[in-house]
């Protein structure tokens, strides 16, 4: 099991695309795994015949564990596979109880075997690998939530019988107990859609949980799959994004002393500017919405109050001031809440920021956000207003000093130029780490964001 993210320690095997006895080629996707941050398709780094799948689907495996072995000699596979040295590892991986504890390089050569899929590539002593055939091995930018439909940044060669479906659709099919091979696709180019899966699941009888013998625990169906008509409870395993989010939020809430401040103000002028920019030729073809100008206002306010863009280093007992802004945008996806960030957002023009926001949101919805895109954030915006919520008290993204919640924008009676008039009003909530952001700094920053959005010409005068 390779480290498909940055420092991740485990991953769940979602789907095997091969079985023992199948022939595989260099670069062919053999399985899909889900980490706390991403669902990733793993390619095999050599040609051969699958000898053994070490773990069944649904098993959570530690990084570094042997998950598949392949016979590359062209002959029959040995009765019991020997342990193989993972690429770059210092020790040999353990073999099953019936197998020898270790193997020598001579034994591997005699059997025609190469190291198993642990990391990206074979050991230095193995034979030279040939060039890829239409596939790219995922590196740091493995999918977070996923790579392309059949690979990462390229077109991986999948097994011939593998149905075409996007990662969220595959996850839905797994939750509903639907075999994608039996689903009739209606999407473009024969792609299976969510509706196709739901249609296939509708007439199906209530499933009976069947777990392979080696599996550590019975898999519990997701909420969408009722186990009985009179069921009063459904239990769902805590794993993947939900598990990572829970751990991060608990750690953040009980490590950083949170303080939240609120400001309610008239955002009418910004909403008018949004409409004007939609017809501006410099913004042609770009998505213009209130979040774009709110993000720009945050970047200007950070420039005026740079200490808000910092981190607390407990080990070194230092405050780390960031002279760049990797702007995180909280996004709800089929796999849960994630926070990808726009790298060096402070250096982007408004059209560039618009393009970055559009790509970030589209990538997250399609389940293709990479782990690297969620690393290194310095400040986060969460837009709870899209759900009709006035405001909230957001919890800090770990490693950051502040997070801004944007509430719903509503038409309300407001005193404007001495008269009560209907104006568009919203509420912002700023949570910050009180260890390094005091009340004065937090208040000044929040007031600056509101002032810019009340009078958006300050985007020019204060920039």
Cα–Cα distance list, 131 to 47, 50, 128, 135, 137 (Å): 12, 20, 10, 10, 12
pLDDT at 348 exceeding the cut of 90: yes
Q: What is the pLDDT of residues 188-214, one digit of tens each?
A: 778 888 778 777 776 444 443 443 434
pLDDT at 260 exceeding the cut of 60: yes
> Of the ranges 111-115, 129-133, 197-201, 233-237, which one carries the lowest mean pLDDT score?
129-133
| Mean pLDDT, rounded, for 440-445 | 96
- d(CA 24, CA 72) in angstroms, rounded, equals 10
| Mean pLDDT, rounded, for 234-239 | 75
Per DSSP, which regions of 304-389 are E strands?
A: 310-313, 318-321, 327-329, 331-333, 336-338, 341-342, 379-383
Phi-psi region of 283 (alpha: psi -120 to 50; beta: other; left: phi over 0): alpha
- DSSP-derived secondary structure for 442-459: HHHHHHHHHHHHHSTTHH
| Mean pLDDT, rounded, for 226-251 | 69
| Mean pLDDT, rounded, for 336-354 | 94
Superfamily holding 242-461? Chloramphenicol acetyltransferase-like domain (3.30.559.10)
424, containing H or E segment: strand 419-433
DSSP 148: B
pLDDT at 29 exceeding the cut of 50: yes
- d(CA 5, CA 2) in angstroms, rounded, equals 9
- d(CA 327, CA 238) in angstroms, rounded, equals 28
Active-site position among 51, 346, 416, 434: 434
Task: Using pLDDT thresholds of 50, 70 and 90, give the confidence band for residue 228.
Answer: low
> Of the ranges 19-28, 126-135, 256-265, which one carries the lowest mean pLDDT score?
126-135
CB 365 within 8 A of CB 398: no
CB 234 within 8 A of CB 227: yes
- d(CA 11, CA 3) in angstroms, rounded, equals 9
Q: Facing residues of 332 across strands?
A: 337
| Mean pLDDT, rounded, for 288-294 | 97
CB 287 within 8 A of CB 350: no
**pLDDT the model gives residue 371:** 83
| Mean pLDDT, rounded, for 86-108 | 37
**pLDDT the model gives residue 335:** 75
Of all residues in the chain, the percent with pLDDT exceeding 70 is: 70
Among 146-160, 161-175, 248-262, 418-432, top mean pLDDT goes to 418-432
Cα–Cα distance list, 69 to 43, 88, 97, 116, 157 (Å): 13, 17, 16, 5, 19
More confident residue, 6 or 195: 195
Task: Using pLDDT thresholds of 50, 70 and 90, give the confidence band for residue 6.
Answer: low
Q: Facing residues of 432 across strands?
A: 259, 402
pLDDT at 298 exceeding the cut of 90: yes
Cα–Cα distance list, 259 to 310, 430, 440, 442 (Å): 16, 8, 12, 9
Name the token pair of 4: 């498909």
Residues 6 or more apart whose Cβ sits within 8 Å of residue 460: none
Domain borders along the chain are 242-461
More confident residue, 27 or 293: 293
351, containing H or E segment: helix 350-365
| Mean pLDDT, rounded, for 85-112 | 38
275, containing H or E segment: helix 268-278
More confident residue, 338 or 265: 265
Among 92-101, 235-244, 345-354, top mean pLDDT goes to 345-354
Task: Using pLDDT thresholds of 50, 70 and 90, give the confidence band for residue 241.
Answer: low
- pTM of the entire predicted model: 0.56
> Of the ranges 89-93, 270-274, 407-411, which one carries the lowest mean pLDDT score?
89-93
Mean of all residue pLDDT scores within the chain: 76
> Of the ranges 168-182, 351-365, 383-397, 447-461, which one carries the lowest mean pLDDT score?
168-182
| Mean pLDDT, rounded, for 443-451 | 98
Backbone phi, psi, residue 291, to 5°: -60, -35
Task: Using pLDDT thresholds of 50, 70 and 90, give the confidence band for residue 321.
Answer: very high
Query: Would you call 416 a catalytic residue per the annotation?
Result: no
Residues 6 or more apart whose Cβ sits within 8 Å of residue 16: 30, 31, 53, 57
**pLDDT the model gives residue 74:** 55
**pLDDT the model gives residue 445:** 98
Secondary structure class of 53 (helix, strand, coil): strand
Task: Using pLDDT thresholds of 50, 70 and 90, give the confidence band for residue 129.
Answer: very low
pLDDT at 290 exceeding the cut of 50: yes
């Amino acid at each position: 099991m390779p480290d498909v993210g940055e420092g991740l320690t485990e991953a769940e095997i979602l789907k095997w695309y091969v079985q023992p006895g199948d022939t595989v080629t260099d670069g062919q996707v053999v399985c899909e795994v889900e980490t706390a941050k991403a669902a990733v398709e793993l390619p095999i780094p050599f040609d051969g015949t699958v000898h053994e799948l070490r773990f069944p689907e649904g098993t959570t495996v530690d990084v570094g564990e042997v998950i598949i072995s392949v016979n590359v000699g062209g002959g029959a596979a040995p009765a019991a596979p020997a342990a193989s040295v993972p690429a770059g590892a210092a020790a040999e991986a353990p073999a099953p109880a019936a197998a020898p504890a270790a193997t020598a390089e001579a034994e591997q050569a005699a059997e025609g075997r190469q190291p198993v899929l642990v990391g990206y590539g074979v050991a230095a002593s193995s034979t030279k690998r040939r060039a890829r055939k239409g596939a790219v091995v995922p590196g740091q930018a493995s999918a977070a939530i996923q790579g392309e439909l059949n690979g990462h940044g390229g077109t991986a060669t999948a097994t011939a019988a593998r149905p075409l479906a996007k990662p969220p659709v595959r996850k839905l099919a797994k939750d509903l107990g639907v075999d994608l091979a039996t689903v009739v696709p209606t999407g473009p180019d024969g792609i299976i859609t969510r509706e196709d899966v739901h249609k296939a699941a509708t007439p199906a009888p209530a499933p009976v949980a069947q777990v392979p013998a080696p599996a550590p625990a019975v898999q519990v169906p997701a909420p969408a799959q009722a186990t009985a008509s009179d069921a009063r409870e459904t239990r769902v395993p805590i794993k993947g994004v939900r598990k990572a989010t829970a751990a991060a939020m608990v750690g953040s809430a009980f490590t950083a002393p949170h303080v939240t401040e609120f400001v309610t103000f008239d955002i009418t002028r910004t909403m008018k500017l949004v409409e004007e920019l939609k017809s501006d030729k410099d913004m042609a073809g770009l998505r213009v919405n209130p979040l774009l100008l709110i993000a720009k206002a945050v970047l200007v306010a950070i420039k005026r109050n740079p200490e808000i863009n910092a981190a607390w280093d407990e080990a070194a007992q230092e405050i780390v001031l960031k002279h760049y802004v990797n702007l995180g945008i909280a996004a709800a996806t089929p796999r849960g809440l994630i926070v990808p960030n726009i790298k060096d957002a402070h250096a982007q023009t408004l059209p560039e920021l618009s393009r970055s926001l559009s790509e970030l949101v589209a990538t997250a919805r399609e389940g293709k956000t990479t782990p690297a895109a969620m690393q290194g954030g310095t400040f986060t915006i969460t837009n709870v207003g899209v759900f009709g919520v006035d405001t909230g008290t957001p919890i800090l993204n770990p490693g950051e000093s502040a997070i801004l919640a944007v509430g719903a924008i509503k038409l309300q009676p407001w005193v404007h130029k001495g008269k009560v008039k209907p104006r568009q009003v919203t509420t912002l909530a700023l949570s910050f780490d009180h260890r390094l952001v005091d009340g004065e700094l937090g208040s000044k920053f929040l007031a600056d964001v509101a002032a810019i959005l009340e009078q958006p010409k300050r985007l020019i005068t204060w920039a």
